[in-house]
Amino acid sequence: MRALVIDDSRAMRRIVTGILEGLGYEVQQAGDGREGLDVLDTGWIPDLVCVDWNMPVMDGLQFVSAVRSNPAWRSVTIMMVTSESEHTQIVRALAAGAHEYVIKPFTADAIRDKLALLGLLPEEAVL
Amino acid sequence: MTEFDTRFEDTGERRRTSDAPLSIHDLLDGETVQSIAQEAWSALVGDDEFLVPLPGGLPDDALSSWVEIVGPWTGTVVLTCGRSTAEALSRALLKEHAPPVLEVEDIEDALGELANVVGGNVKAVLPGPSVLGLPEVGSAPTAGSPADTCRVDLLWRGESLTISVQGAAGALTDPHENNQNEVPL
């Protein structure tokens, strides 16, 4: 399975990438929403996108809206991973088309649990 | 209603611009800031990493990271520690994903992300709606009024660090002092 991790913090990209690779994902990274769209434009379509909210150039909410407006990317599951923890923000993200929402700080188990709920745990991680 | 909904339920309370400005001391206390920081440390730095509420001196080469919050209360959440502490924090945060040699950008990025996580969760306990800025790193921004600053002094692995939730300079002035645009009756 493939995942795209989008965060302007390279520390957070490394952490999330490490968790996903540990579960068996093949991962690519991007530093903002625009770079994330550039990855999708290459035709490398991930099963999962983990995207931060607050980023320069293009934020996570704009990225979610852009992905949802393109039918070719309809199959992509989007999980927001962000320190924006207000209820109204979560509602906005889900309304824009995100499937799940993980609030920073998070643990590896929290990511794993969300992926299990989404049915996106690779077989090797389930065993 | 879930536990999350209850924690962050919109109370419906709204403020007018003519209302007296909010002081951070009306909104949160040092215990809350420490609790938020401890949650971030436990999840990101390590399960057994504890912040001890004891004052200690910051070294001359202290480095700060901060995020701005703009809303009914406006100010910054500032994390400050020595450079060696910042490097140790970066290694702890990245764990096995840390590169063999940490560059300055890696350290500043990790410290900025910690301020971002603490700031985002501080924002959640303040009245909204508020906007969270992007993290910045450097010398600490100018401190605001002590009446609008909540600072906690902590020790992590015996090294000092401070977290300061400080109002924007002048945010506590009377909103009617600068009312040139008001039309006299």
How many domains is chain A partitioned into structurally? 1
Which residue range is the domain that position B87 belongs to? 21-167
Start-to-end C-alpha separation, chain B = 49
pLDDT of residue B174 exceeding 50: no
- Are B97 and A18 an interchain contact pair (Cβ–Cβ within 8 Å)? yes
**Separation CA B118–CA B115 (nearest Å):** 5
- Please check whether residue B39 touches A, CB under 8 A: yes
Quote the ipTM score. Answer: 0.89
Q: Quote the domain boundaries for residue A105.
A: 2-126
Residue B2: exposure state from Cβ atoms within 10 A (0-12, 13-18, ≥19): exposed
Q: Does B124 map to a domain?
A: yes
Interatomic CA distance for residues B37 and A74, integer angstroms: 38
Q: Is residue A25 a contact partner of residue A123, using CB atoms and an 8 Å limit?
A: no
Q: What is the pTM of this model?
A: 0.85
The residue with greater pLDDT, B96 or B106, is B106
Tell me, yes or no, whether B160 lies in a domain.
Answer: yes
Query: Which chain A residue's Cα is nearest to B67?
Result: A54
Chain B residue numbers with beta carbons less than 8 Å from the beta carbon of A10 are: 105-106, 109
For residue B26, what pLDDT is reported? 87
Q: Return the CATH number at A29.
A: 3.40.50.2300
Averaged pLDDT for residues B95-105: 89
Count: domains in chain B: 1
